[in-house]
C-alpha cells in the first residue's frame, strides 16, 4: 500500500475520537459517584427519554433522506442526532448526580427482560461512541465510501441504543419516586 493510500484511509480525527471514546465513559462513570443533595431533577428522565425517541425517529428519517439522494437533509438530521445524543448524555449525568438511582420493581420474566435490555443498552451506548464519531469524521473529510461502509454498522447500533433507552425508561418509570 502506498503512503497516499494509507493517508487517505486514515481518519483525520482518529486520535481525538479514540481519546473521546475512552474519556467519555470514564468521566460519566466518575460523575455517577458524585451525589449532590437538595435539588430536584425528577423532570429529567421523561425529558431524556423523549430525546432518545426523537433521536430514533430522526435517525430513520436521515437514512430515508440519504437513500432518496437528499444529502443536505441527511446532514442536518445527522448533526441534529449527534446534538441530541450529547444533550441526552449531559441531562442523564445531571440527573444521576442529583438523584439516587431508581431500582426496577418488576418481578418474574419482565425483570429479566428489563435487565437484558438495560445491560445491552449500556454496553452498546458505550460502544456506539467511536462508531458515531468515526462515521461523522469520514463524512466531514469527504471520505463517503468509508463513511457509508461504517454507517451500515453505526446506524443499527445507534438506533437500538435510542429505542432501548425509551423502553428502559417506560419499564422503570412506575418505580421513580414521587
Give all domains of the chain, ordered by start, each with its CATH number: 41-175 (1.20.120.80)
Nearest to 89 by CA among 167, 28, 47, 131: 28
At 88-132, the pLDDT tens digits run: 999 999 999 999 889 999 999 999 999 999 999 999 999 999 999
- State the Cα–Cα distance between residues 86 and 89, nearest whole angstrom: 5
pLDDT at position 3, please?
A: 43
Contacts of 14 (CB under 8 A, 6+ apart): 134, 137
pLDDT at 177: 84
Per-residue pLDDT tens for 112-122? 999 999 999 99
Cβ proximity of 55 and 84 under 8 Å: yes
Supply the pLDDT for residue 66: 97
Q: What is the pLDDT of residue 9?
A: 61
The residue assigned the cell 418481578 is: 107
The C-alpha cell at 104 is 426496577
Q: How confident is the model at residue 11 (pLDDT cuts 50, 70, 90)?
A: confident
For residues 77 and 65, is the Cβ–Cβ distance under 8 A?
yes
Region 16-36: mean pLDDT is 90
2 pLDDT exceeds 80?
A: no
Instruction: Write the pLDDT tens digit of every residue in 40-72.
Output: 999 999 999 999 999 999 999 999 999 999 999
Per-residue confidence at 178, pLDDT binned at 50, 70, 90? confident
Residues near 140 by Cβ (< 8 Å), separated by ≥ 6?
12, 13
Amino acid at each position: 500500500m502506498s503512503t497516499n493510500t494509507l493517508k487517505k484511509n486514515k481518519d483525520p480525527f482518529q486520535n481525538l475520537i479514540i481519546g473521546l471514546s475512552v474519556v467519555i465513559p470514564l468521566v460519566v462513570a466518575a460523575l455517577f459517584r458524585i451525589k449532590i443533595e437538595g435539588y430536584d431533577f425528577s423532570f429529567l428522565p421523561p425529558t431524556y427519554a423523549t430525546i432518545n425517541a426523537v433521536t430514533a425517529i430522526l435517525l430513520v428519517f436521515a437514512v430515508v433522506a440519504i437513500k432518496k439522494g437528499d444529502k443536505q437533509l441527511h446532514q442536518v438530521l445527522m448533526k441534529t442526532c449527534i446534538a441530541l445524543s450529547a444533550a441526552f448524555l449531559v441531562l442523564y449525568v445531571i440527573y444521576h448526580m442529583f438523584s439516587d438511582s431508581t431500582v426496577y420493581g418488576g418481578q418474574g420474566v419482565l425483570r429479566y427482560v428489563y435487565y437484558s435490555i438495560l445491560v445491552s443498552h449500556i454496553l452498546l451506548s458505550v460502544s456506539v461512541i467511536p462508531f458515531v464519531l468515526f462515521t461523522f469524521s469520514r463524512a466531514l473529510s469527504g471520505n463517503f465510501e468509508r463513511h457509508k461502509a461504517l454507517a451500515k454498522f453505526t446506524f443499527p447500533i445507534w438506533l437500538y441504543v435510542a429505542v432501548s433507552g425509551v423502553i428502559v425508561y417506560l419499564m422503570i418509570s412506575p418505580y421513580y419516586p414521587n
